[in-house]
Structure formats: structure tokens, C-alpha cells
């Protein structure tokens, strides 16, 4: 079985992990409460989608 020949240095580990970046989600303003929300998804703050109440808040 193939195994690593050398221990991975802390530097290499940290360089690799420094590339793990979170992407900013593209948000849109809610139709009704103007809160930022995900597109095509019911607003989590007022619970509406297309001005229709979907969730009770």
C-alpha cells in the first residue's frame, strides 16, 4: 500500500488549510420585509414567499 514518505510540515498543512474559504451566498431583499434572504426560498424572517405566508414566525 502506498504511504507518505515524510511527515507533512505544519507550514504545508497551514498553507493548504488557508485555502479553505467560505463563499458568500448571493442574497436578495425580501419582497415584503426587505430583509436579505436566499433567492427562490421563503423568507426566514417574515415567512413569506411570493407574498404568500408559508411559515408561521
Using CB under 8 A, list all residues that contact other proteins.
38, 40-42, 44, 49, 52, 54-55
Quick one: CA torsion of 45, 46, 48, 53, rounded to 10 degrees?
A: 140
In whole angstroms, the minimum distance from the beta carbon of 17 to other proteins comes to 21
Lookup result for grid cell 442574497: 27
Q: Given the complex with other proteins, which of 32 and 49 has the nearer CB atom?
A: 49
Q: Given the complex with other proteins, which of 15 and 41 has the nearer CB atom?
A: 41
In whole angstroms, the minimum distance from the beta carbon of 20 to other proteins comes to 17
Amino acid at each position: 500500500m502506498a504511504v507518505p514518505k515524510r511527515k507533512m510540515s505544519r507550514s504545508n498543512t497551514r498553507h493548504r488549510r488557508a485555502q479553505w474559504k467560505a463563499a458568500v451566498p448571493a442574497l436578495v431583499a425580501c419582497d415584503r420585509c426587505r430583509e436579505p434572504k436566499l433567492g427562490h426560498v421563503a423568507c426566514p424572517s417574515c415567512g413569506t414567499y411570493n407574498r404568500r405566508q408559508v411559515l408561521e414566525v
